[in-house]
Chain A
Amino acid sequence: MTTLTTAAPVSMSRPFYGWTLHDGLVVARRNLIQTVRVPELLFFSLVQPVIFVLLFAYVFGGAIPIPGDGAADAYRQYLMPGIFGQTVAFAAASSTVGLAEDMHKGLIDRFRSLPMSPPAVLIGRTFADAARQVLVLVVLTITGYVVGWRIDNGLLNAIWAYGLLLLFAYTVAWIGSWVGLYMPNPETANTAGLIWLFPLTFLSNAFVPINSLPGWLQTFAAWNPISALVLACRELFGNPTGIQPDYWPLQHAEAYTLISCTVLIVIFATLSVRRYRRTTSR
């Protein structure tokens, strides 16, 4: 065994965008490499929303009437933005499971013992989980076109809709991160990471018009940020929206989406970073 001969460590100079973003990108790169190295996981994360499209389009499609639109394929036009919204919401689960695994394997301990920026591990995680959704949205768009869905309001509006979807993915990734930091082990994270997403996505206008819901659920669904997101996407894609009950978030879908995402990111990033600074593996 030889001795180590490398010269003393040489530091790099601080990049103009700061250490937090630098460290965040290093962690994001690591998380994205993971995606490429486990193609099976990527494959199934793409198959799941495709199955949702097919199930809803062909099983429920005929049974759910869209008020104000009599066209035969109206439900599929109505459905696709809902599936987009639901799918990006599930980005939260990968943040939860990913952080629980990092804690379990002692990686969080190691990151915390490094002189790196503390929020960077979470920034990298949420960024990578949101970035993965780009691929998911591409596959979903193709599937949508196959079952007859169309973008019908110009390319710029469509790009803006995709932008809102990714912003929402990034937002829920922070919520998922916060949940993940409280998970005792990856197995629990697998369940707990998903469980709150089902009521959140189904108690919205993603699959059924809000005015079909009973009164108090209607209020919840109207203020649910997913409803505003999905409605904004329907408007931007030029898809049928149904008739909106009189709630502020539904009258100002884009504004409410931007506001709720910003507020949620601020709240959950603060809570997550605070929790991260005190967390150790278990």
Chain B
Amino acid sequence: MTDNAVVAEGLVKHFGDVHALDGIDLTVARGQVVGLLGPNGAGKTTTVRILSTLLQPTAGRAEVAGFDVVRQPDQVRRAIGLTGQYAAVDEYLTGRENLRMFGDLYHLSPRYVKERSAELLEWFELTEAADRPAKTYSGGMRRRLDLAASLVAQPSILFLDEPTTGLDPRSRLGLWGVISNLVEQGTTVLLTTQYLEEADQLAQDIVVIDHGAVIAHGTAEQLKDQIGGDRLEVSVADPARVGDAIAALGGIGGGAVAEESRISMPVSGGSTVLVDAVRALDAQGIEVTDLLLRRPTLDDVFLALTGHAAEDDTPAPATGRGRRKDGAA
């Protein structure tokens, strides 16, 4: 046995001509939370599906809980819980019936399943709704039930594939709380997300992937340091003058990116930068509505690493890489 809950080496997955994964290396230590971060179609879901034994890799190998995902799928399945992008619960069954069904399919004793279900329903604040069909649940409640279902057998490793996609901010916060709590109790979590904030909040270690390959790896702080220094953000009153503003700021630093009337650029030199920026813009008569200096976010990291924004859905379609394609092998 190793101290790693998940080890993947050179995972490759082709769907016909589509190269969904191009050699992913990944390690998750026991008790750790690793965030797999990337835009739609980067290969996050494919990676999780291989690790949870749903797909076979074209090449490479992976071990989960010390078992090979291809040769020992049953042992892997006994050790993991999987929560996918959809709330995969039966909507005609009640919350309690759903948990009972999954408990039965894990071959757990009826008495244990009954106690565990009651406890999970309580913990996820679903006790009141426990005997109503899941059809009547809100989106947040379904996701909680979905997560509860993957916890019936107390898995030591949890795969969460975009657990909060489509949730309102309040439900998202609630789910983050639950996940943090599970981690405190020793569960290993591999979490995929396209929300940088989510990876920042939950994961100790972040693996950034794009086009089926790992492009960066480290803690949130390390990734931010990689792109260096602080960010200067300037909003100009007249969007037509964005070009002039970038030119005026040329003496302070390069690499500015503009989005409508907002300019963002990496800078070094602390707060004197702000004074210099105000002077330079004022000299050109450019009216500024907002000016601030901040630490880089993971959004900046992603933009710097890939050249496109993380939540931008448009890149990469030339080869048709996308999770919608995953099943169509």
Q: Which residues of A contact B (CB under 8 A)?
A: 1-12, 14, 19, 22-23, 26-27, 29-30, 33-34, 37-38, 103, 105-107, 109-116, 120, 184, 278-282
* With A26-B105, A114-B77, A281-B327 as contacts: A33 and B123 at CB distance below 8 Å: no
A5 touches B90 (CB 8 A): no
From A2, A19, A29, A112, residue with most partner B Cβ within 10 Å: A112
Inside 8 A of A279's CB, which chain B residues have their CB? 327
Chain A: minimal CB distance from B45 (Å): 9
* 22 A–B pairs (Cβ distance < 8 Å), ordered by A: A1-B181, A4-B119, A9-B106, A9-B116, A10-B109, A10-B111, A11-B109, A27-B101, A29-B101, A30-B101, A33-B92, A34-B90, A37-B93, A103-B327, A105-B86, A110-B88, A115-B74, A115-B78, A115-B106, A116-B106, A280-B326, A281-B327
Question: Other than the known A11-B107, A26-B101, A110-B84, what 5 A-B pairs have Cβ atoms closer than 8 Å?
Answer: A9-B154, A22-B107, A30-B93, A112-B53, A115-B74
Q: Which residues of B contact A (CB under 8 A)?
A: 49, 52-55, 74, 77-78, 80, 82, 84-93, 97, 101-102, 104-112, 115-116, 119-120, 123, 133, 149-151, 153-154, 177-178, 181, 185, 324-329
A282 touches B327 (CB 8 A): yes
* With A1-B178, A9-B153, A115-B74 as contacts: A282 and B328 at CB distance below 8 Å: yes
Chain A: minimal CB distance from B164 (Å): 15
Closest to A25 in B: B104
Chain B: minimal CB distance from A122 (Å): 14
A109 touches B328 (CB 8 A): no
Inside 8 A of A12's CB, which chain B residues have their CB? 107-110
* With A2-B123, A3-B185, A26-B105 as contacts: A280 and B55 at CB distance below 8 Å: yes
A280 touches B327 (CB 8 A): yes
From B54, B107, B325, residue with most partner A Cβ within 10 Å: B107
Inside 8 A of B324's CB, which chain A residues have their CB? 282
Closest to A184 in B: B328
Closest to A113 in B: B82
B86 touches A4 (CB 8 A): no
* With A4-B123, A6-B119, A6-B154 as contacts: A109 and B106 at CB distance below 8 Å: no
Q: Which 9 pairs across A and B sit closest by C-beta, in order of nearness?
A: A282-B327, A106-B88, A106-B86, A115-B77, A113-B82, A10-B112, A110-B88, A280-B327, A37-B92
In the complex, A4 Cα to B108 Cα: how many Å? 17
Closest to B184 in A: A3
**Of B104, B120, B133, the contact of A37 (CB 8 Å cutoff):** B133
Chain A: minimal CB distance from B88 (Å): 4
Closest to B124 in A: A1
In the complex, A26 Cα to B97 Cα: how many Å? 11
Inside 8 A of B89's CB, which chain A residues have their CB? 107
Chain A: minimal CB distance from B119 (Å): 5
Chain B: minimal CB distance from A99 (Å): 13
Chain B: minimal CB distance from A119 (Å): 13
A34 touches B92 (CB 8 A): yes
Closest to A280 in B: B327
Inside 8 A of A22's CB, which chain B residues have their CB? 104, 107
Inside 8 A of B327's CB, which chain A residues have their CB? 103, 279-282
From B89, B104, B154, residue with most partner A Cβ within 10 Å: B104
Closest to B117 in A: A6
Inside 8 A of B108's CB, which chain A residues have their CB? 9-12
In the complex, A106 Cα to B142 Cα: how many Å? 13
* With A12-B108, A112-B53 as contacts: A278 and B88 at CB distance below 8 Å: no
Closest to B77 in A: A115
Closest to B324 in A: A282
**Of B80, B86, B325, B326, the contact of A113 (CB 8 Å cutoff):** B80
Inside 8 A of B88's CB, which chain A residues have their CB? 105-107, 109-110
A106 touches B120 (CB 8 A): no
Closest to B74 in A: A115
In the complex, A3 Cα to B106 Cα: how many Å? 22
A106 touches B153 (CB 8 A): no
Inside 8 A of B55's CB, which chain A residues have their CB? 280
In the complex, A103 Cα to B229 Cα: how many Å? 47
Chain B: minimal CB distance from A257 (Å): 34
In the complex, A10 Cα to B104 Cα: how many Å? 11
Inside 8 A of B181's CB, which chain A residues have their CB? 1, 3
In the complex, A29 Cα to B101 Cα: how many Å? 9
Inside 8 A of B150's CB, which chain A residues have their CB? 110
From B110, B112, B151, residue with most partner A Cβ within 10 Å: B112
* With A9-B112, A10-B108 as contacts: A1 and B123 at CB distance below 8 Å: yes
From A33, A38, A111, A279, residue with most partner B Cβ within 10 Å: A33
**Of B77, B102, B120, the contact of A4 (CB 8 Å cutoff):** B120
Inside 8 A of A33's CB, which chain B residues have their CB? 92-93, 97
In the complex, A26 Cα to B52 Cα: how many Å? 22
* With A9-B112, A109-B82 as contacts: A282 and B326 at CB distance below 8 Å: yes
In the complex, A107 Cα to B91 Cα: how many Å? 10
